[in-house]
């Protein structure tokens, strides 16, 4: 029988195996129990044994109302297998970590990486490149369906393409941020034409935040908040310090790394979903309210529609080039945070943004 | 490595049924049950050695039979299924 145990004929590929062994539980009301060397998952109104070997699980992530038994928690802590709780919407709540996790080393590496101006600039380039490339793709794809301004949209996409070429030449962070800001402005000028003309929510003047003063900006801000929370949750989950960012500067209470991680997700996830909801008239003027002072926000029914669409969008699988397979949108930030962690540890020469 | 483990544990007497349960429990810690006495297992060399040792301590060598097939990498993902069988996500993130 020992003939089974010989050296593996295939070389050990240093692949992204971490994600493969994560157990995500998002069914509300599910309970997890320890049974021998496996996890028994009990889901209400779901009969049948649901058993997963603990050996194959490196990490458990529970969204919302999920119960984890004490024996299982103790076992996970003993095996240095982390358990993370997120709100049903993906906000980071808390995390149980084993005693031997290398998080402090990763965080230390992150701080050292940040202290190295050159390394910081290189990593920041990755975030900007991902953001601009994805923004450009959203414009180009949107131009095909746009009722008007197709030439303008393509012109803005061309502006962004030029900005992408300028990224490697940016000599410092301020120049890089300038390129990003300018390209972002061009993007929103094009974004305006992606909205149907006959919408009752008013025009999109330009990107206005803190506070948004029109429905379209209010919707964008709402989705950016959700995107930020999944990006921050992903950073926490992987063990990175969400407040030490590379593109975004350090400021008290500013999760700079979460903001870095969400850049490449903004256009394809948040903006695209906002466009869809508005253009299909699932959200109309009645779903927004103006507060005293001029800030506009979603009404409660409007929020329900937006959140339902968000949750649905989070389950949609999207292709990931580095992994060569499709990944649910909700997991993209975690995948990217892991790629970033590998880059920070020196295992990957560059940060590879997720690109649509 | 990817393995296919099948067992045939004699259940004519209570000790046999006890062994059957223990073998099943053990296997659940290593892989996914695909049929009543068939497990698909993805594990390392070290895990396999431990598994073999544990199985040997449980079974009755005169009555029980365990077969472990080592299958080429990717076989468990490519498995063809009919009826109620479904491929298991051995290497994907498990989302429930």
Question: CATH number for the domain including B26?
Answer: 3.30.70.240
Does A350 map to a domain? no
Task: Express each pLDDT in A30-43 by its tens digit.
Answer: 899 999 889 998 88
Q: For the residues of A10-40, what is the DSSP string, one character each?
A: S------HHHHTEEEE-STTEEEEEETTEEE
**Chain A CB contacts of B93 below 8 Å:** 19-20, 22-24, 327-328, 331
Residue A124 shares a structural domain with residue A24: no
Q: Does B91 touch chain A (CB under 8 A)?
A: yes
Domain end marker among A96, A121, A148? A96
Residue A79 shares a structural domain with residue A120: no
The answer to whether A289 is annotated as binding is: no
Q: For the residues of chain B, what is the DSSP string, one character each?
A: -EEEEEEE---SSHHHHHHHHHHHHHHHTTEEEEETTEEEEE--HHHHHHHHHHHHHHS-TTT-EEEEEEE-TTHHHH----TT-----SSSPEE-
Q: How far is A191 from chain B (nearest CA, A)?
A: 34
Does B29 map to a domain? yes
Does A80 map to a domain? yes
Does A353 map to a domain? no
Q: Which of B14, B62, B6, B63 is nearest to B36 (CA)?
A: B6
Is residue A16's pLDDT more than 90?
no
- Max distance between CA atoms of chain B, in angstroms, equals 42
Question: CATH number for the domain including A278?
Answer: 1.20.120.920
Total of domains in chain B: 1
Domain of B52, in residue numbers: 2-73
Give the closest of A4, A8, A24 to B68, CB-based: A4
Which long-range contacts does A54-58 make (Cβ < 8 Å, 24+ apart)? Answer: A54/A79, A54/A81, A54/B29, A55/B29, A55/B30, A55/B43, A55/B47, A56/A21, A56/B42, A56/B90, A57/A21, A57/A22, A57/A23, A57/A81, A57/B94, A58/A18, A58/A21, A58/A22
The answer to whether A263 is annotated as binding is: yes
The answer to whether A122 is annotated as binding is: no
Does A242 map to a domain? yes
Does B67 map to a domain? yes
Task: Express each pLDDT in A209-242 by its tens digit.
Answer: 878 888 898 889 888 878 887 788 788 778 888 8
Residue A166 shares a structural domain with residue A61: no
Residue A52 shares a structural domain with residue A187: no
**Chain B CB contacts of A49 below 8 Å:** 33
Residue A245 shares a structural domain with residue A340: yes
Q: How far is B88 from chain A (nearest CA, A)?
A: 11
Q: Which of A192, A224, A223 is nearest to A206 (CA)?
A: A192
Is residue A107's pLDDT more than 70?
yes
Average of per-residue pLDDT across A148-152: 81
pLDDT reported for residue A102: 52
Residue A58 shares a structural domain with residue A206: no
Residue A141 shares a structural domain with residue A48: no
Residue A269 shares a structural domain with residue A191: yes
Does B48 map to a domain? yes
In this complex, do A22 and B94 lie within 8 Å of one another by their Cβ atoms? yes
Total of domains in chain A: 2
Does B93 map to a domain? no
Task: Express each pLDDT in A244-300 by its tens digit.
Answer: 899 898 888 788 998 999 999 999 999 999 999 999 988 888 888 888 888 888 877
In this complex, do A24 and B93 lie within 8 Å of one another by their Cβ atoms? yes
Q: Does A42 touch chain B (CB under 8 A)?
A: no
Residue A109 shares a structural domain with residue A59: no
> How far is Cα A259 from Cα A234, in angstroms, rounded to an integer?
12
Task: Express each pLDDT in B9-27 by its tens digit.
Answer: 988 899 999 999 999 999 9
Q: For the residues of A219-272, what is the DSSP string, one character each?
A: HHHHHHHHHHHHHHHHHHHHT--TT--SSSPP-TT--HHHHHHHHHHIIIIIIH
Cβ proximity of A274 and A306 under 8 Å:
no
Domain end marker among A96, A113, A142? A96
Cβ proximity of A164 and A148 under 8 Å:
no
Does A2 map to a domain? no
Does A6 map to a domain? no
- Confidence band (pLDDT; 50, 70, 90) for A88? low
Tokens 């397979």 -> residue: A325
Domain of A285, in residue numbers: 104-345
Does A78 map to a domain? yes
Task: Express each pLDDT in B36-91 by its tens digit.
Answer: 899 999 888 888 999 999 999 999 999 999 999 999 988 888 888 888 777 776 65
Per-window interface: A 298-337 vs B, CB < 8 A? 327-328, 331
Residue A229 shares a structural domain with residue A316: yes
Does A124 map to a domain? yes
Token reading at A241: 């310090």
Does B95 map to a domain? no
Q: How far is A208 from chain B (nearest CA, A)?
A: 37
Residue A321 shares a structural domain with residue A189: yes
Cα A271 from chain centroid?
13
Domain end marker among A96, A114, A140? A96
Cα dihedral A259→A263→A268→A274 (10° resolution): 50
**Main-chain dihedrals φ then ψ at residue A271, nearest 5 degrees:** -65, -40
Average pLDDT in chain A? 82
Does B87 map to a domain? no
Name every residue whose Cβ is closer than 8 Å to that of residue A122 and which is 6 or more positions away in sequence.
A350, A351
Q: How far is B94 from chain A (nearest CA, A)?
A: 5
Q: Is B40 left (phi over 0), alpha (psi -120 to 50) or beta?
A: beta
């Amino acid at each position: 029988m020992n003939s089974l145990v010989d050296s593996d004929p295939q070389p050990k590929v240093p692949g992204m195996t971490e994600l493969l062994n994560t157990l995500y539980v998002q069914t509300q009301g599910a309970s997890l129990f320890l049974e021998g060397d496996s996890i028994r998952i009990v889901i209400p109104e779901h009969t049948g044994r649901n058993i997963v070997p603990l050996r194959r699980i490196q990490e458990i992530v529970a969204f919302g109302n999920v119960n984890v038994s004490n024996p299982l928690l103790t076992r996970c802590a003993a095996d240095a297998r982390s358990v993370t709780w997120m709100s049903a919407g993906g906000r980071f709540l808390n995390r149980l970590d084993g005693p031997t996790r290398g998080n402090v080393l990763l965080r230390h590496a992150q701080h050292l990486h940040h202290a190295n101006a050159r390394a910081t600039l290189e990593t920041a380039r990755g975030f900007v490149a991902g953001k601009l490339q994805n923004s450009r793709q959203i414009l180009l794809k949107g131009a095909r369906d746009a009722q008007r301004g197709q030439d303008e949209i393509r012109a803005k996409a061309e502006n962004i393409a030029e900005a992408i070429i300028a990224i490697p030449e940016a000599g410092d962070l301020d120049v890089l941020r300038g390129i990003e800001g300018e390209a972002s402005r061009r993007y929103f000028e094009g974004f305006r034409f992606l909205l149907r003309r006959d919408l009752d929510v008013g025009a999109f003047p330009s990107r206005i935040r803190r506070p948004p003063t029109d429905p379209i900006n209010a919707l964008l801000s709402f989705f950016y908040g959700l995107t930020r929370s999944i990006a921050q949750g992903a950073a926490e989950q992987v063990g990175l310090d969400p407040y030490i960012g590379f593109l975004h500067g350090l400021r008290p209470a500013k999760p700079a790394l979460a903001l870095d991680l969400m850049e490449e997700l903004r256009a394809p996830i948040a903006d695209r979903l906002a466009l869809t909801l508005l253009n299909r008239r699932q959200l109309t003027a009645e779903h927004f309210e103006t507060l005293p002072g001029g800030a506009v926000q979603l009404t409660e029914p409007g929020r329900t529609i937006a959140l339902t669409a968000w949750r649905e969008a989070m389950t949609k699988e999207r292709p990931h080039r580095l992994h060569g397979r499709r990944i649910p949108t909700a997991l993209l930030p975690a995948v990217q945070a892991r790629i970033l962690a590998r880059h920070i540890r020196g295992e990957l020469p560059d940060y590879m943004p997720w690109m649509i | 490595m990817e393995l296919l483990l099948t067992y045939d544990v004699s259940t004519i007497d209570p000790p046999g049924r006890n062994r059957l349960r223990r073998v099943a429990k053990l296997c659940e810690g290593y892989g996914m049950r695909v049929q009543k006495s068939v497990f698909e297992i993805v594990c390392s060399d070290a895990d396999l050695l431990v598994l073999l040792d544990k199985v040997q301590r449980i079974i009755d060598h005169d009555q029980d039979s365990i077969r472990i097939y080592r299958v080429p990498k990717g076989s468990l993902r490519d498995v063809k299924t009919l009826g109620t069988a479904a491929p298991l996500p051995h290497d994907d993130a498990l989302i429930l």
